[in-house]
Structure 1
Amino acid sequence: MVPDLKHINRFPMNNQHMLQHECVYKIALDHLYDGVFITDNECKILYVNEAYTKMSGLKYEDVVGHYVDDLEAKGIFKNSTSPHVRRENKIISSIGKAKDGVEMLITGKPIYDENNELIYVVVNQRDISDLEIMRQKLIVTENKMAVVEKERKKKEEENEYYKKQFFNNTGIIGDSEEIRDVIYLINKIAPLDVTVLITGESGVGKEVIANEIFQKSSRKNKQFIKVNCAAIPTNLLESELFGYEKGAFTGADKAKKGLFQLADGGTIFLDEIGDIPLEIQPKLLRALQQKEVVPVGGTQIQKLDVRIIAATNKDLSQQVKEGKFRKDLYYRLNVFPIEIPPLRERKRDIYALGEYFLKQYNKKYGKSVVLSSEAYSLLMNYDWPGNVRELQNIIERLIIISDDQTVINKDQIEKIMFPNTMLDITKSEKGLKEIIQEIEKEILIDVLKNTGTTRKAAKKLKIDQSTLVKKLKKYGINIDEIRHQS
């Protein structure tokens, strides 16, 4: 049904088709946000839309069919735009006010026929109060963005400065806050000739840190002797460290320098220092404190100029309490401690480490293997009990078993990381995170059953006791119930 068009019956209508078109035009105009005001070339008002009547407070029949000049004479209109457009024959814009005092942008435009004769004037009225509010909001937003951008640039500049200061020529992979703190400490202590104790779980990269300290020290062009104290049999450790004289024991047909003597003038790195037997610790204390040693079977004191860097994955303060480590030796070693956080506490470094190991082993095995984003997501969700060393081993294994130019997906990694649970995983409707948590929970329960205490369990799992307690709370594991079951 065609709507009533009595208010636009002054527009030319030739037929029913035109009538329908005008109906559509009226509907469209009445739904505009802006007010629309149309006159003929004599400034007789032909049409106003609903928005105009709301803005002006005038009824449709009060204005349509009347001349603008007559309405101005009655004081209904003031400074109307249509007569100005008619007189000057061009687009005219001005600022006016609606009945409620709201500011409006008023623009009048002349409409010409094919002979370039003026036939209509169309006036558009737009409420600019919202625009002003939007403009003010935009200004506030732009100011906020400017502050954010300023802070971002400042942070970038700080990061660049930080990198220049602390990341040049570093062999440490990662850019997490945790590892940056470690690098900061390294750069502070490396040039100073003092003893350093590096602590952290197995596999976090303590030897890498020791190498970095040595490379940034004043002794970098001298000897760097590395000793794994846990790898040398107890009965040989003293002679390996401090040397021996001829005839000191059966088979000692000539004197031999120990590792401390070989490091004279340079640096010695004592890895797994927590495994040093108690009976050897007094001689080690003397080497640290007086910088002198006496070879096995000898009587002559040998003075040394050697810097000592030690490392351990054990809690030496706890070992002191248990009588397994000398207190005086502990304090002598703990002059400048550097603790390396486990990989699970700096997961931001996983991507950088993964890319580094990919490049390293791709070159070694002549391949071009890459990891998919889903594969990295899996790595990010894993807790890495074996830390960086575990990640390194997994990457190397993946490259070895993969074809050249392969994109490794998460399924391939799962087969390597969880070989005994793959059947359950493929049948399970649970997500990977939930499956990993279930596996971790089972491991915690098994270890607690075997050890009986959180301290022993933490030691077995090579994690901090506080970390283990948090995990027990997370999974709702009651240690008393486990003890009763076992």
Structure 2
Amino acid sequence: MSDTNSKKHIRILSNSPFFNGVSSESMEELYKNATEISYIKGETIFKKGSVGDSMYVIINGKVKVFEKDHVYDILSEGDCFGEYALIDNESRSASIATVEKTNVLKIERKHFLDLMSKSIAFAQSILAVMVKRHRELDTIQESLASSKQIIEVSNSKMNGLINGAMDAIIMFDDKFKIVLTNASANKILENDDPLQRNVLFFFDDESADLIENIVSNKTRDSLTNKYLPNIVKVIGSQDKETLNEGTISKSGNEQETFFTLILRNIEERLIAEDTINLLTKQTEYLEEEIKELTSSYGIIAEDELMKSAINLIHQVAKTDATVLIHGETGTGKELVARAIHKESNRNDKPLIRINCGAIPTNLIESELFGHKKGAFTGAAADRKGRFLLADKGTIFLDEIGEMPLELQPKLLRIIQEGEFDPVGSSETIKVDVRIIAATHRNLYEFSKEGKFREDLYYRLNVFPIEVPALRDRGDDICLIAQEMIQQFSKKLNKHIVTLSDSDKALLEAYNWPGNVRELQNLIERAVIVSQNGIINWQAIIPNNSDKSEIQKEACQEKILTSKEFLALEKSNILKALKKTRWKVSGKNGAAELLQIPPTTLASRIKALKIDRPL
């Protein structure tokens, strides 16, 4: 070996951690008995567990310190390994293999100990190195002890945070084996020791498939706090089911991979949301009902026929009997239903109204009984039907004669059993609903013709109430009309008109095919077009043939009071002024039209406080 290489090797020996500080003379003596060995790439120098008798110093190249698949360290030129074999006969603690072509100096124990015994200086130098390394180990141990304490405190804080969390935290490996849970997780899993169990066993099939697909997805390397796209159902060891939302994330390294699932029980929130939705829907239906009801005037009745109907309302209201209301369109059947509900023991619960003739046939079943998500095209979410909204209250089925025949068995089932199945669901829902139905048709004749189920007719017709037509209610026409005039006048900020006898005669002479609803619409129109408290009823009431004669006869028979006479005079002057465009005197003036002197007309205009509109 050349002197240049020898000096280089001695320098490398002297600079190695084990011999750092040993005299050059001692290193030259040690080098004389060292052996240079070459290894090819990937060659094992020694294995873990073998008994060592030599140490090695790397001249050039690289080696790895490893155990099975785990690499502890990579050593290169100047590093040493296996040094403890110089002073003991213990087994090697790890394996050494080359990473690339490597040359080492091998120093055997017997030569090392021989030099120790012959050279006091060498022994002192080695002892000094050992003492220094021992002190470094003490420092490292102190640091490790301090780090251990810090780690223990951190772990304690982390465990407190995890176990104190209200959300369930479940960590599992890539084999789906549970490795960590907190108290909240154990609670929903209904298991105090779920470790090493397959996490998928605690979910229903759909939820287990969802989690398995997320974990098995090829893009899972980017899995960081991914929100679960769907609500997952957890099934505990005692079969208790809970609905949860959550996130999932990935951690670990190439050797070990873990997934953390954080779940939050949302059943209370869902219940609260359902309650809010239910109340919101009830409010919407109630507002809709109020809008569609004929009016808020209540039932006005002086006629004996209507008084008889009201007496029936009082008799049946406190019971839960099913009521069938008969009457022509617009007679106020909905007002009767509302009166029954308000006087019943269910008046603190909702009154839900549905017009069976106003909803398309393909939608009425869903409207009445609700549906599950996906039950049919367009069913994007669950829907609560009106029977469920009316639970503990009353449902008013207007125009029941228009209900499709195929739905009538479901209605019969509710009346008989108090239960139904939503569209697309096998779940049976129980309800406590009082049913009031109304129709303008003869359901008995319908049932004989096969257009309505006969058994349903008899179940509905427990307590029939007949609402008389408006034309058959005598003076009630004028009473209702006057009440409506007052209501619309206040709403539209108009002068309140008082019906005269001639006005009443016109109202009572009309046949009112649309009944109270037609009267309401007519009164609203009359108030809108009224001028200064005057309504031309002849122009308002349809088909007004021969009504001028009725009014004329009424006027001929009536003796006007002074107040009525002044109102009539004022109305007559106003008509003349409007026709002449407020020209009082001169040719084609109002005075000429009224055939009175202009001075007299001017005096009457002032006395009657007639003002020309701006």
Per the normalisation by structure 2, the TM-score is 0.40
Letter in 1 for 2:433: V
Q: How does 1:144-293 map to 2 (within 5 A)?
A: 171-293=298-420
Q: Does 2:435 align with 1:308? A: yes
Aligned to 1:394: 522
Q: Does the Cα contact within 8 Å between 1:369 and 1:404 map onto a contact in 2?
A: no
Contact conserved, 2:503 with 2:551, CA < 8 A, in 1?
A: no
Equivalenced residue count is 257
What is the distance in 2 between the residues matched to 1:187 and 1:387? 23
What does 1:49-64 correspond to in 2, within 5 Å?
none
* Structure 1 residues 217 and 431: CA distance shift in structure 2, 3 A: closer
Q: Deviations over 1:55-93 (max 9, x none)?
A: xxxxxxxxxxxxxxxxxxxxxxxxxxxxxxxxxxxxxxx
Unaligned 5+ runs, structure 2: 1-295, 554-614
Distance 1:433 1:299, change over 3 A: farther
Report the equivalent of 1:57: none
Q: Does 1:374 align with 2:498?
A: no
Number of the residue aligned with 2:471:
344
CA positional deviation for 1:431: 5.0
Q: Which has the higher contact order (CA 8 A, sep 6+)?
A: 1
Q: CA deviation at 1:369?
A: 3.2
> Does residue 1:416 correspond to 2:540, yes or no?
yes
- 2:449 corresponds in structure 1 to 322
1:146 corresponding residue in structure 2:
none
Per the TM alignment, residue 170 of structure 1 is displaced from its structure 2 partner at its CA by 9.2
1:277 deviates by 0.7
Deviation at 1:220, TM superposition (A): 0.3
Query: Relative to 1, partners in 2 of residues 1:298 and 1:283: Cα closer, same or farther, differing over 3 Å?
Result: same
Q: CA RMSD in A?
A: 2.1
1:359 aligns with 2:491: no
Structure 1 unmatched ranges of 5 or more:
1-168, 435-486
Given that 1:228 and 1:270 are in contact with CA atoms closer than 8 Å, whether structure 2 keeps it comes out as yes
Q: Distance in 2 between matches of 1:360 and 1:318?
A: 40
Shift of 1:253: 2.9
Alpha-carbon deviation of 1:432? 6.9
- Cα distance in 1 between the residues matched to 2:346 and 2:552: 47
Q: Distance in 1 between matches of 2:333 and 2:354?
A: 13
Residues 374, 307 of structure 1: alpha-carbon distance in 2 compared, 3 angstrom cutoff: same
Distance 1:431 1:296 in 2: 59
What secondary structure is seen at the aligned counterpart in 2 of 1:179?
helix
Name the % identity.
Answer: 54
**8 Å CA contact 2:325, 2:466 repeated in 1:** yes
Partner of 1:97: none
* Aligned amino acid, residue 416 of structure 1: I
Maintained 8 Å contact 2:398/2:438: yes
Indicate how the Cα distance of structure 1 residues 170 and 360 shifts in structure 2: closer, same or farther if over 3 A, else same: closer
3-state DSSP of counterpart to 1:252: coil
Q: How far apart, in 2, do the equivalents of 1:358 and 1:342 lie?
A: 20
Q: CA deviation at 1:382?
A: 1.8
SS at match of 2:298: coil
Output the amino acid matched with 1:286.
R
Per the alignment, in what secondary structure is the counterpart of residue 320 of structure 2? coil
Do 2:538 and 2:547's aligned partners in 1 also have CA atoms closer than 8 Å?
A: no
> 1:385 and 2:509 equivalent?
no
Shift in Å at residue 251 of structure 1? 2.5
Partner of 2:21 in structure 1? none
d(CA) in 1 for partners of 2:495, 2:521 = 17
Amino acid across the alignment from 2:478: Y
Query: Take 2:370 and 2:413, find their aligned partners in 1: how far apart are those partners?
Result: 15
User: How high is the TM-score relative to the length of structure 1?
Assistant: 0.51
